[in-house]
A and B are shown apart, each in its own frame.
Chain A
Amino acid sequence: MKEFGYERAADVSGALALLDADPDARFLGGGTNLVDLMKTGVERPARLVDVRELPLDRIESTEDGGLHIGATVTNSDLAAHPDVRRRYPALTQAVLAGASGQLRNMATVGGNLLQRTRCGYFADVSKPCNKRVPGSGCPAIEGEHHNHAILGASDHCVATHPSDLGVALAAFDAVVSYETTDGPGELPLTDLYLPVGDTPHLETALPPGALITGVTLPPAPAGAVSRYRKVRERASYAFAIGSIAAALDVRDGVVHEVRLAFGAVASRPWRARAAEAALTGGPVDAAAFAAAADAELAAAEPLPHNGYKVTLMRNLVVAVLSELAEEAAR
């Protein structure tokens, strides 16, 4: 590991100033991703600015009935919060489906959203990787890619974003707020991550040195039931090979409102707007759910070893929406 300086920020402006003064400085949240990547040499910061003790650790109701979640709230506190469990159950389920109890206690909301891909070539500095070393190539396309992207990828990178939390946030229309030395800003979560194109090393639309300060959720769709379902290669403590966050509001036997987001299929949490459009106003049955999944997955471009994800996601859409329809009818 490269040597580095360490500073603990007392307030937001102090944290921003420290980062601004040193282009090789990075924020440190729980460290569960950054420290891991520093050990393997993927990340080589000259200085860490510890933000864990910033006063951004609250979860508060907003005036319109939504929720504001501070960036340094731990994943555990987020999942356990009564308002989250009551109003956004799929969010609690998504967080609890990720990592382990130990890691969720350490991990912060900001860090979770900015965690890097788990692509094995990215994590191995002896291998080429366009995301780590622009222009060096993407060995995953010809090599090991069974858990890589089927949507929105490019010839330059087929990595997925591994966050479970982000998938539920995408479904609930979360907005990310941040601060820079030039002032504050906001981005819908679905616009936080840049399209891959030929610049897979440029991952987010945040300005350089921006500190994520929190995430705001608008009120959950009225009357909707929600759920997160994750498929992985062992029962627990593993990254997704496919996941789905869904919220469904059925009125008079038709889909009044529906939210769908997919995880582990793209370089960002994938909001399935084509499927939502196909479902809205339509019947509440398995055939309609399958047709909506097909509408979304028509854009899928699987590689030789990850075509199973197309079937997996289609089945997940049908299964989870069917369960939610049953729950809504109760």
Chain B
Amino acid sequence: MATAPPSTYSAVTLNINGEKHTLTVDHRTTLLDALRERLDMTGTKKGCDQGQCGACTVLLDKRRAVACLQLAVAAEGREITTIEGVAEGDRLHPVQQAFLDLDGYQCGYCTPGQICSAVAVIEEHAAGWPSAATDDVRPEAGPPPLTAEEIRERMSGNLCRCGAYVSIVQAVARAAEADARAAQDAPDTQGAPAAQGTEHEGAAA
């Protein structure tokens, strides 16, 4: 068929940690490779490159995603947060602090992905999302308590070769508690994961 061969690269502007970066990418470039190889942001790690380990976890529009299966060109227009952007200036994110305080790592390779994932896990739970470990998923049942079993299930997309899971679970639990306390003190500042047009709470019985 006589279609002109398409251009195989594009100029894209990526919004990363609140800063805009314009670069020309071969369409084959994943967000992970764009971050590491083009933008020198090597905090995001490459483990499997197949969506199977979570080392490359970043936040896209405040939701966790694996950067190795995300094409850079398709990430244009989205708000990208990497491990370099989770702290507030010099103040560590409570999840980072909890990982430090409780030794939530050994070699540290999986840690940026674990932390980005945990930040989102806490928000997902605060928004009332059930998980595969939740007995009763009906909204009437209310949000499940964030037990160790819930944390393990919700964090299961992040593998740790060093097997630091025990302290990872403790760190996530501690950060979640701190987050819940802060939410009680200031109920309006609690952010739910970015809605994508399907939140029809109360739309039907």
Contacts and interface: CB of A to CB of B under 8 A. Distances in A.
Interface of A: 1, 3-8, 21-23, 28, 30-32, 35-36, 38-39, 46-48, 50, 52, 57-61, 70, 73-74, 76-83, 85-86, 89, 92-93, 96-97, 99-103, 105-106, 235-237
B130 A80 contact: yes
A61 B200 CA distance: 10
Interface in B160-203: 196-203
A176 B89 CA distance: 48
B46 interface: no
Nearest to A164: B132
Contact of B132 (A1, A39, A50, A96): A96
B156 A105 contact: no
A3 B1 CA distance: 18
B34 to A, nearest CB: 14
Contacts of A21: 1, 3
25 contacts: A1-B28, A4-B28, A5-B7, A22-B6, A28-B74, A31-B70, A32-B51, A35-B30, A47-B6, A48-B71, A57-B197, A76-B63, A77-B196, A78-B198, A80-B128, A86-B139, A96-B131, A96-B134, A100-B54, A100-B158, A101-B120, A102-B65, A102-B117, A105-B60, A106-B66
Contacts of B158: 100
A92 B137 contact: yes
Contacts of A93: 132, 137
Contact of A79 (B57, B66, B130, B140): B130
Interface residues of A, dominant DSSP: mixed
B26 interface: yes
A81 B60 CA distance: 20
A108 B54 CA distance: 19
Residue of B27, B74, B140, B153 with most chain A CB atoms under a 10 A cut-off: B74
A74 B195 CA distance: 11
Contacts of B128: 80
Interface string B49-68: 11100100100100111100
B74 A31 contact: yes
Contact of A6 (B64, B71, B137, B154): B71
A237 B54 CA distance: 11
B6 A4 contact: yes
B203 A61 contact: yes
Contacts of A61: 203-204
Given A102-B65, A236-B152, A35 B138 contact: no
B140 to A, nearest CB: 7
9 closest Cβ pairs, A-B complex: A5-B6, A100-B157, A236-B156, A3-B8, A61-B204, A237-B156, A77-B198, A96-B132, A82-B139
Contacts of B138: 85-86, 89
Contacts of B8: 3-5
Given A74-B196, A81-B200, A101 B27 contact: no
Contacts of A235: 152-153, 156
A106 to B, nearest CB: 5
Contacts of B132: 93, 96-97, 236
A86 B140 contact: yes
Nearest to A98: B132
Contacts of B73: 6
Contacts of B196: 57, 73-74, 77
Contacts of B124: 101
Nearest to B202: A82
